[in-house]
Amino acid sequence: MSRTETRDETSSRNPTRAVLRSTEPQRPNTQRHGRTMARSGGTPRPKQSSHASHWRWLAPVLAGSAAALGAAVLYNRQKAGTAERKTPPMGRFLDVDGVRLHYIERGQGEPVVLIHGNGTMIQDFTVSGLVDRLASRYRVIVIDRPGYGYSSRPRQLWTPRAHAKLFRRALKQLGVEQAVILGHSWGTLVAVALALEYPALVRSLVLASGYYYPTLRADTFLFSPPAVPVIGDAMRHTISPLIARAMLPGLIKQMFAPAEVPERFDRLFPKEMMLRPSQLRAAAEDAALMPPSVMELQHHYSELQMPITIITGADDQIADVGRQSERLHRELPQSEFIALPGLGHMVHHLAPDAIIREIDRLTQQSKV
């Protein structure tokens, strides 16, 4: 009898064993599968391969971004250094409460203090011709506000009242006990704060193209991000100067509109100084502080008792004339209001004669 038996034959002789075998789960032929995998080169599981390829792009993107940001930092640093070499300090320095203030002083006579707006510096008044013309009969003082030009800006809230306290101490060092104060744009807030904090110091006020009451302003949202600590610091050293450089020609045009940008301003004003990371931080912080600052100051305007001239371009596209300058004039019965038709925000460049006439008139009035 042959010893070779079929499975069916074995099962028929041992039914119990057949039942047990039939109930066991079927196992794959791992040995055969292993041989097949070996022949195919042992490729990884399909899911792992798909996951790895999905994130494979991340490393070069991160490396490229880091390289781009590093290049931006170097480029902005080089541009800032070039701007400062071309436009060195034009005045002297004062150390006031840990702040290094850059200032100029020209002429002799009754003191006249000029306070610049957001984003600009001393040159806003020298390029306009105001400093030289006023210096023929006044002692003219212009101070770079903290963070602008060559003045430092320690980390703190630089509200108009904080500016006022700093300016008062600076003027005291310079021997100024009383002065005509002219503020332009953001500088009007500092001028008003000086008059509120130190009324004996302020002989009279000239408020040019000012912002006095809270409104929704696009520039507050557009220019404020570089003021945010950490994130803003990274922005102002990388992308913010690049964005600002692209936007600057349009912004300058809007500041003067509907009038044309004067050739003298276009040729002489050091625009690259405005794009340095340090100055972008100051401008961003000032933009963010405008609405809350005027929300506080507006409750004290009635305390202003000195002679005041409110002057603006009638077609100012930055500060709404009716909601700002005209409204302040209605609140201050002793004020004079001048709206110059066809002119925009930069009245001290476009109509310096009108500014000088008001300074002369207020100076004579205070002597009577």
User: Which residues constitute the domain of residue 216?
Assistant: 73-367
User: Are the C-beta atoms of 129 and 165 separated by less than 8 Å?
Assistant: no
239 falls within a domain: yes
Copy the structure tokens of residue 2: 């042959």
Say if CB 213 and CB 236 are below 8 A apart.
no
- Give the total number of structural domains in the chain: 1
Does a structural domain hold residue 181?
yes
Domain assignment present for residue 257? The answer is yes
pLDDT at residue 341, as a whole number: 97
**CA distances to 2, 7, 16, 22, 109 from 11, in Å:** 17, 6, 8, 10, 126
In sequence order, the β-bridge partners of residue 99 are: 96
The structure tokens listed for 151 are: 């003045």
What Rg value do the Cα atoms of the chain yield, rounded? 36
- pLDDT for the residue numbered 75: 72
pLDDT score of 368: 62
Quickly list H helices, 55-109. Answer: 58-86
Q: What is the pLDDT of residue 208?
A: 98
The answer to whether residue 9 is domain-embedded is no
Q: Check: CB of residue 364 under 8 Å from CB of residue 338.
A: no
pLDDT reported for residue 50: 56
Place of tokens 């109930």: 23
pLDDT of the chain, 368 residues: tens digit per residue: 344 444 444 444 444 444 334 444 444 444 444 444 444 444 555 555 555 566 676 666 566 666 666 676 777 788 889 999 999 999 999 999 999 999 999 999 999 999 999 999 999 999 999 999 999 999 999 999 999 999 999 999 999 999 999 999 999 999 999 999 999 999 999 999 999 999 999 999 999 999 999 987 665 556 666 656 666 677 767 788 888 899 999 999 999 999 999 999 999 999 999 999 999 999 999 999 999 999 999 999 999 999 999 999 999 999 999 999 999 999 999 999 999 999 999 999 999 999 999 999 999 987 76
What is the identity of the amino acid at 365? Q
The CA distance from 149 to 119, in Å, is 9
Q: Note whether residue 7 is domain-resident.
A: no
pTM (2 d.p.): 0.80
**Does a structural domain hold residue 81?**
yes
* CATH number of domain containing 238: 3.40.50.1820
